[in-house]
Structure 1
Amino acid sequence: MKKSIPIKDINSIYFAGAGDQNIKFIEKQFKSNMVLRGNQLLVDGDKEEIKIIEKLVNNIVSVISRKESIDISDIEILINSQSSINNAIDDSINESIILHTHKSPIYAKTKGQREYHHAVLKNDIVFAIGPAGTGKTYQAVASAVSALKNQAVQRIVITRPAVEAGEHLGFLPGDLKDKVDPYLTPLYDALNDMLPKDKLKKYMDNGQIEIAPLAYMRGRTLHNSFIILDEAQNATQMQMKMFLTRIGVTSKAIITGDITQIDLVGNGMSGLIHASNILKKIKGIKFIKFNENDVIRHQLVKNIIKAYSKEEK
Structure 2
Amino acid sequence: MKSKLLILIFLFITHIVSSQENNFKESEIDIPTKTQIIYGTLLTPNSVKKPPLVILIPGSGPTDRDGNNAVMKNNSLKYLAESLSNQKIATYRFDKSVLTFTKKDTLKIKALTFNTFINEATSVIKYFKKFKNYSKIIIAGHSQGSLVGMVASKNNADAFISLEGAGRPIDEIIIEQIAKQAPYLKEETIRVLKELKQGKLVTDFNPMLISLFNQQVQPFLISWIQYNPQIEIKKLTIPILIIQGTKDIQVNIKDAELLHKANTTSKLKLIENMNHIFKEINGDVNENLQSYSNPKLPITPILTTTILNFINQLK
The TM-score normalised by the length of structure 2 is 0.29
The TM-score normalised by the length of structure 1 is 0.29
